[in-house]
Structure formats: structure tokens, C-alpha cells
Amino acid sequence: MTALSEKHGAYNLAQGLMWLPPDPHLLEEARSAFTDHTLHQYSSPAGVPALRTAIAMLSEKFFETPYDPDREITITAGATEAIFSAIQALTLPGDEALFIEPAYDSYLPAFQSGNVQARAVPMEISEKGARLDWEAVAASLSEKTRILLLNFPHNPTGRALHLEDVHILETLVARYPRLYLVVDEAYEYMYWHPDPSQATPLPPLSVRQSPILREKSVIIGSLGKILGTTGWRLGYIAAPAELTARIRAVHQFITFCAPTPLQIAAAKYLHSNPNRVFFFHDTLLARRKLFVELLRTYTSLKILPPEGGYFVLIRPTENQLPDIQLAEHLTREAKVASIPLSPFYGDGTDPGWLRLCFARSVDMLKNAAQRLGEVYPADQPTDHLTE
């Protein structure tokens, strides 16, 4: 979709990354690290100790859940590598696993590469929200299931973790003692008020806050998402020591270690002020509020605002096109690039929704909403921009 966007000169709301500048203080730490000639060699495969300590500090401060940085935190080359390492470490060929669809596109290949029999349970997606079918999840688990792979806040729907989810998961892990949770929390601090007109964050929630689930969970984090530097390829894994030892044995033979100077820069940045994990919050919340208002002002599209992360889902009230064709049509005609949801399903299921990233400039969001309104105009169009 990015290539198609470039071909047609469209606004690229497809790519799932922030087009917002990182904190200048972070960039200054990076400059300092790169000018120190002693920091350009391999780090420990587990990661630079200072960064592991920073991750443990953040978990204790914001989730009230401690981890031993020496035995329970591992720095990886991005969250995608962390997911792959965890799956390879905790399963054997022929094991079973379960995940939720729509799903980030690395999940299924990670299972397939280990010859794990993975099954998907679909979400129900509507304007009212994305609903997890926990009854279907429970019915799909068995004594052979080794991993339940979850994602909160969820990409692409923006569905956040709720307390009732935690209680249900506690019941499931008690029922299946050999089951582990691998939880992709790439957007872990981005929890928003359900009403997009309320530009306020909510305290983040994680399965690790349950003592029961903490001992059964592998938490996947993304410093690239937290810091707005996805190109740095810094992720992490927080897990009980016994699981961490197994994961590290896999990780060191995949990437060996993450980039050393970038680990150093991130560690110094976070140690100096842990609240920097919220650096983008005000901007993202303002963008979410504005973009949802603009879409409601200019278009007749159905809209699903997120409970977390930085994606909005849209769909036409009436549509005859498959979602991939619809996304291509809007890129050509409205000059707005989106991501169709069918590629997030292993069997190509088309739920009819498109994903738009609102971590963009205000002008881009205004122009994109107006252009979408030219194709799907509002029933009562207005002639002013929502501020």
C-alpha cells in the first residue's frame, strides 16, 4: 500500500508507524552514544544491563510488577524478533497454539516455522468495538495447547485489555497448567479514554499485574513504539527466569544482540525520566480526537476509534468491493492510502474494515478526511474544519 500510495501521490495513512519527531533529548543521547568509540561492539546477548534495569524499573513503576533485570529481562532486535524467539523457545514441532485474528502478520509464520499447529479465533468487529469471544477461545484450548498468543492494545483494532479479560485468563491458565501466554504489548502505555472526544489517557493495564498470570506470561515490549524510533529495532521480553533462560538460548542464535549504542541511548534517556514513556501521549490523543471528528464531519463512513494505539478503523455504510480492492480504490480516487484487514487473517477473511494511522501531521489528517469525504460524503456536509 505504501508503494501504491507513492505511485498515486496519496496521503500515506497505511504505514503503521509514527511520522512524529522523537524527543530531542533522546536524539542527543544517541549522538553521545555514537561518538563514544567504546560502544560500537557487541553487547551481551541478554542486552545492555542499564537498559534491562530501565525496563524492570518501568514495569515496577507503572505496573507495580517487579522483574529481575539479570534473569528476567532480555533486549531483542525489535518486538517481532521477540515474538519469534518466544514461540521457538516454548514449543516443539507438533505442539498446538492459539491466537486471535485479525493478527499482526508475523504471528502465523512464527508458528509455522516451528511446525506448531496454530489455530485462530476471530474477533467480532463492529462500530461498538472489537469483542473477544472468550467462549470460543476456551473451547479451542486443550491439554496440547502450549501458547495462547494475545495482543493488547490490539493491532489493528485498538482493542485494549480489560479487567474482565484478566479474570478469564486466570481461569484458563488454572485449567491448563502447561499453557503459556505470549502477550504482545507493543503499544503497552497507549491506553485511551473510550470516548475519543475525551483527550485523556488511562493507566496502562497488563496481564503481568496478576500474580497468577505473571508467572505464566511472556511479555513482549517495543521500545521502538515507546520512543517513536521503530527503525532502531529495540524490543524486549519480560518473563519468569526459567522461561527467560529458554528464550535467551534461542535469541542468541537469531540476532545475538540488539544495537549496542542505541541500547545505551535508550537506557540513559529512560533512566533520567521514566515518565518519558508518555512523551507522545498528548499529541496522539489530540490527533485521535481531531481525526475522528473530521471523519464524522466530512464522511458517511462507519468509524471504530481505538481504546489504545494509534489506528482508526473505517468502512463504508454500503460497499460492494472486497477490502483490498476498496483500499486500492481509495488510494487512487481519494488519494488516501489505508491497510485492508483481510491480510491480518490467515485465510483471507474480509471483515470489511480498513485501518488508518493517525500518528501523522494535522494537515495530513485534515486533507485525508476531506478527500475521503469526496468519495463518501457526509449526509449533512459542513463547510468548516473541526479544530
For residue 99, what is its C-alpha cell?
491466537
330 in the same domain as 268 = no
Element (H, E) at 272: helix 260-272
Last residue of a domain, one of 246, 276, 306: 276
Which of 85, 122, 132 lies closest to 106 in space, CA to CA? 85
Residue 339 included in any domain: yes
251 in the same domain as 120 = yes
Residue 381 included in any domain: no
Gap between the Cα atoms of 248 and 16, Å rounded: 28
In this prediction, residue 199 carries a pLDDT of: 83
- Other beta carbons within 10 angstroms of residue 342's beta carbon come to 18
- Other beta carbons within 10 angstroms of residue 27's beta carbon come to 14
pLDDT band for 17, please (50, 70, 90 cuts).
Answer: confident
Residue 307 included in any domain: yes
In this prediction, residue 288 carries a pLDDT of: 97
255 in the same domain as 296 = no
Residue 386 included in any domain: no
Residue 383 included in any domain: no
148 in the same domain as 268 = yes
118 in the same domain as 235 = yes
Q: What percent of the chain has pLDDT over 90?
A: 95
- For residue range 170-215, what is the model confidence (pLDDT) as tens digits? 999 999 999 999 999 999 999 999 899 888 899 999 999 999 999 9
The residue segments making up the domain with residue 308 are: 2-20+280-375
Q: Alpha helix locations (H) across the chain?
A: 2-8, 24-34, 49-63, 79-90, 107-113, 134-140, 163-175, 211-214, 223-227, 241-251, 260-272, 281-298, 323-333, 362-375
Q: Is 113 exposed, middle or buried (0-12, 13-18, 19+ CB in 10 A)?
A: exposed
Residue 222 included in any domain: yes
Whether 355 has a pLDDT exceeding 80, the answer reads yes
Which of 331, 341, 339 lies closest to 372 in space, CA to CA? 331
- Integer-rounded Cα Rg, in Å, for the chain is 21
Last residue of a domain, one of 276, 291, 312: 276
Residue 241 included in any domain: yes
Last residue of a domain, one of 276, 303, 326: 276
Following DSSP, what letter does each residue of 282-322 receive, concatenated? Answer: HHHHHHHHHHHHHHHHHB--EEE--SBSSEEEEE-SS--S-
In this prediction, residue 97 carries a pLDDT of: 98
Question: Average of pLDDT values for 122-138?
Answer: 96
Gap between the Cα atoms of 184 and 170, Å rounded: 17
Whether 384 has a pLDDT exceeding 70, the answer reads no
The CATH code of the domain that includes 174 is: 3.40.640.10
- For residue range 117-129, what is the model confidence (pLDDT) as tens digits? 999 999 999 999 9
What total number of domains does the chain contain? Answer: 2
- For residue range 56-84, what is the model confidence (pLDDT) as tens digits? 999 999 999 999 999 999 999 999 999 99
In this prediction, residue 177 carries a pLDDT of: 95
Residue 50 included in any domain: yes
Gap between the Cα atoms of 58 and 265, Å rounded: 16
- For residue range 287-337, what is the model confidence (pLDDT) as tens digits? 999 999 999 999 999 999 999 999 999 999 988 899 999 999 999 999 999
130 in the same domain as 74 = yes
The CATH code of the domain that includes 285 is: 3.90.1150.10
In this prediction, residue 387 carries a pLDDT of: 44
pLDDT band for 386, please (50, 70, 90 cuts).
Answer: very low
For the chain, the average pLDDT equals: 96
Gap between the Cα atoms of 59 and 335, Å rounded: 42
Whether 381 has a pLDDT exceeding 70, the answer reads no
Dihedral-angle region of residue 213 (phi above 0 means left; psi in -120 to 50 means alpha; beta otherwise):
alpha
Strand runs (DSSP E) across 64-216, as ranges?
73-76, 96-101, 117-122, 124-126, 129-131, 145-151, 180-184
The amino acid present at 56, given as its one-letter code, is A
